[in-house]
Amino acid sequence: MRVAVPKETDAGERRVALVPDAAGRLASSGFTIAVERGAGAAAGFADGEYGTAGAEVVDRGELLHGADAVVRVGRPSPAEVAELQPGAVLIGFLSPLTDPEGIERLAASGVVAFAMESIPRITRAQSMDALSSQSTVAGYKAAILAADRLPRLFPLLMTAAGTVAPAKVLVLGAGVAGLQAIATARRLGAVVSGFDVRPAVREQVESLGAVFLDLGVEGAETAGGYAVELDAEQQARQQAALEERIPDFDVVITTALIPGRPAPRLIPAAAVERMRPGSVIVDLAAEAGGNCELTEPGAEVNRSGIVLIGLTDLPSRMAYHASQLYSRNVSALLQHLAPGGELALDFEDEITAGACVSRGQASA
């Protein structure tokens, strides 16, 4: 199987779908890997490293010619889709729940597409779970950004010049990103509280040395471990409880998401207005509309002295390790779909069927 790795095309995307090490492993297990010149540069991987690892480094014009599979981070442009041969495999974050047109375009071109977001969250597929690997990076970066923007120190310091009280950090939504944000803020010395609507999370929050904030709101959990959306009455209660508690915190990191739905509104504008000047909110749900009413997705803004970070590209800002982890996820999926480099799609298999968003000619 010939696998092409394009240079990402979304503005500001620094990650690459396969790093040299992963490309080398695939090359030695039966795949031919062709990497677009410069594809890894923004993540810190030089063309020469790919060559040494056993991949071909090619110009854009030659990349897709004869490719049996294309692995990328973000969605391909319509022009790139048009270049793919029918039956070619495409792997990437394809936004199947929010970009139905893009998926239709792939189906119409006969592309067999696998969305990294759609990999089932089952034990057997853990090595392919790119949502988790990238959320881990985002949670870490969120805590680091908050520490950087806050005009206060995170840790307790006792110095000859006086004692500095530790920063108080609240993390809303304690899934993969939230737990990593809690762990990172704790390592920096902050006093951390966490909240999630899934009751099972309390123990995980506490095991990281954080306090579970009791807001008197509890939601249900799906069989897959995701939160069920709160009803209107519960949402209003959560907002009111948060409005009261939020002014106590210097930093709020929000990560609350419901798959395929707009992000739950947790922090009303009134709660932001009650925070101390210099406080920081990092809204990791910005891409889905944001957990905070005042978040501007993709931007960092200052509202009456409160810094609101709605950046949507945090994994890309840690491109080296985000790419390394993503590569492992992509490699595991490739090995699953094409053991030893021979495509063998089994749509009876839970992972293959679950991740596939366009069966191309196979569905005809």
- Please say which residue, 65 or 124, places its beta carbon nearer to ligand NAD: 124
Of 118, 133, 135, 184, the one binding ligand NAD by CB under 6 A: 135
- The nearer residue to ligand NAD, 227 or 252, going by C-beta atoms, is 227
Shortest spacing between CB 108 and ligand NAD, in angstroms: 30
Geometric angle at alpha carbon 49, from 43 and 53, rounded to 5°: 125
Selected from 24, 110, 173, 290, the binder of ligand NAD by CB under 6 A is: 173
- Catalytic choice (132, 152, 317, 349): 132
Return the residue of 47, 152, 226, 293 that touches ligand NAD, per CB under 6 A: 226
Phi-psi region of 304 (alpha: psi -120 to 50; beta: other; left: phi over 0): left
Closest approach, Cβ 292 to ligand NAD, in A, equals 12
Determine if 198 is a binding residue for ligand NAD (CB under 6 A): yes
State in angstroms the smallest separation of the CB of 351 from ligand NAD. Answer: 11
Q: Which of the ranges 147-155, 221-229, 303-311, 346-354 carries the binding residues for ligand NAD, by CB under 6 A? A: 221-229
Binding-site size for ligand NAD (CB under 6 A) equals 30
- Decide: 285 and 309 in contact? Cβ < 8 Å: no
Q: Is 255 in the site for ligand NAD (CB under 6 A)?
A: yes
- Per the annotation, the verdict on 326 as an active-site residue is no
Q: Is residue 226 among the annotated active site residues?
A: yes
| 230 interacts with ligand NAD by CB under 6 A | yes
- Binding-site member from 196, 243, 250, 283 for ligand NAD (CB under 6 A): 196
Catalytically annotated residues: 121, 126, 129, 132, 226
Contacts with ligand NAD, residue ranges (CB under 6 A): 121, 123, 126, 129, 131-132, 135, 172-178, 195-198, 225-227, 230, 238, 255-259, 264, 266
